[in-house]
Amino acid sequence: MKHIHILILALLLSVSVVAQEKQNNFEIAKSLDIYNSLLRELNLNYVDEINPGELNETAIKAMLDGLDPYTVFIPESDIENAKFMTTGEYGGIGALIQYDGEWTRISEPYYGWPAQKAGLIAGDVILEVNGVDCKKKNTQEVSDLLKGQPNTEVTIKVKRYGEEKPLTKTLKREKVKIDNIPYYKVFDNGVAYLSLSGFTRDAAKEMREKFMEMKNNHQLKGFILDLRGNGGGLMNEAVDIVNMFIPKGKTVVSMKGKAANANSMHPTMKDPVDLNIPVAVLVDGGSASASEIVAGALQDYDRAVIIGQRTFGKGLVQNILPLSYNTQMKVTVAHYYIPSGRCIQEIDYSHKKDTTQTKNDTLGKAFQTMGGRTVYEGHGIMPDVKVKRDEYATVTAYLYGKNYIFDYANKFYHEHKSIDSADRFQIDEATYQDFMNFVKEKDFSYTTESEKAIEKLKKTAKDEGYLDKIQPQIDLLEKNFAAEKENDLINNRKDIEELLRSEIVGRYYYQKGRIVASLKDDPDLARAFEILLNTNGKDEYHSILSGK
């Protein structure tokens, strides 16, 4: 009788699913008919001429905006950009660019690619591309002009800091491949370090090769994988990277979605390269998706100590599906679950209209690692060892956000032919004084949160009739705040120097140099050294992984 009840229940569920599918198909057909008739009538009757293609893209965007931010329509013109996300390759000059509100500037040329080889430098203002005036053209518009088929030429006119006349450069585009691994090394203490910036094609193969190179040439005491700022990429690359440190045949991630082909398990398929070396993984709020698979899986298998700040929390899987007329759609097809069974997705987009979900450190449902440690679902990967990072002061954020630091680096580069090596270069007293003078000459100003609060107090006091009585106290408060602001550049010198050093080093040593400079006083790295090398006199590494 029990088997009969189960059979009846299964049949009822099957009928319900079929009925729901029929209802959805009817609603789709009905909606398409309404949409077609609406667009046709608009074209015939609207008072002005319409652009059906633009209206269609607007309608599609509005429809997808109701879902998660990762489900997007890809028009034919953006196909190359979509390929770049998975392959790390594109036809172009090899440079990062940024828009400052009037012009687009080169923010960093990639070392070894056409822009750098042609002598373009960070700070160059792009005036024209192939004769097209670039004033008021945003980053995407200028990027589209710069990109093209490999081996084709592009002529760029730029304005350089300190140069009166524009410079014209003719470059030959190449098939640019962004490095998954911008930097790796073995420190003098015997700990290997590798920075992984992406999970594009061959990321795991490249990492395996670099790791084996370090292992074969040194007596390694530990390994640090830096995933900070790594927004993810191909899931299979993440699985293969985890496979380096755990045995063959272990599940790394599972996908669960509505469509049958969206449900799958992804185990390790190869022999590992090292099951014993102590491993630390550095993460932060910019570590997402494939980065979280790697960090989460190694945490669930108690194979690595995770150090830093809580990760982004993206537990959604996307596929790119072909559509008509050479367009595509990147669509979320599943959630992914790491070995303990937890999903690390931060926001439930199916209820986003009914909630004000924000990122916080509250704990979700508890799960267990393979060794019995408690881990939690739903809020990214919580590190085993948190390293607190203080937020930048208002003055520092303004200096960076308004490009004062970027612009000073242009000035410094123009005035200095060379600098010390990336790991040794420091901002000395003369340089910092010169920077402060540069800022003052630019009439730098900013509004602190305290000043905003005082203005709000004045308005409220005026509305309530108290302003005249408390005006002397407010005047004194404003005077004291003004005096403190005068010292902001001095009081926050350490953080400002850190940003200045990174920007200046990048002018001479590019992305690799930035990483080298950033590691000099890196608290996450220092904490990883302590744990891997047991420099504090206790076996923290095994203690953390055993949950003791």
Active site residue 133: no
Alpha helices by DSSP H, 218-289: 235-242
Torsion region of 453: left, alpha or beta (phi above 0 gives left; psi -120 to 50 gives alpha):
alpha
Cα distance between residue 468 and residue 343, in whole Å: 58
Active site residue 289: yes
CA distances from 178 to 78, 282, 454, 517 (A): 18, 21, 48, 20
CA distances from 432 to 24, 391, 421, 498, 508 (A): 65, 21, 19, 11, 19
The set of residues, in sequence order, having a beta carbon less than 8 Å from that of 312 and lying 6+ positions away, is 231, 285, 286, 287, 288, 289, 292, 346, 380
Find the catalytic residue in 68, 226, 300, 524: 300
- Site of tokens 């040593």: 509
Cα-to-chain-centroid distance, residue 505: 21
Three-state DSSP class for residue 218: coil
Cα distance between residue 384 and residue 300, in whole Å: 11
The set of residues, in sequence order, having a beta carbon less than 8 Å from that of 507 and lying 6+ positions away, is 121, 122, 409, 410, 412, 413
Find the catalytic residue in 137, 250, 314, 485: 314
Look up residue 151 and give its DSSP letter: T
Task: Pick the closest to residue 337 from 277, 287, 292, 384 (CA basis).
Answer: 292
The set of residues, in sequence order, having a beta carbon less than 8 Å from that of 399 and lying 6+ positions away, is 405, 439, 444, 496, 499
Find the catalytic residue in 143, 287, 289, 518: 289
The string of DSSP letters for 471-492 reads HHHHHHHHHHHHHHHHTHHHHT
CA distances from 247 to 14, 224, 271, 393 (A): 40, 19, 6, 46
- Site of tokens 């901002």: 427
Hey, what amino acid is at 322? P
Active site residue 221: no
Q: Which helix (H) or strand (E) holds 205?
A: helix 203-217
Please identify every residue annotated as catalytic. 289, 300, 314
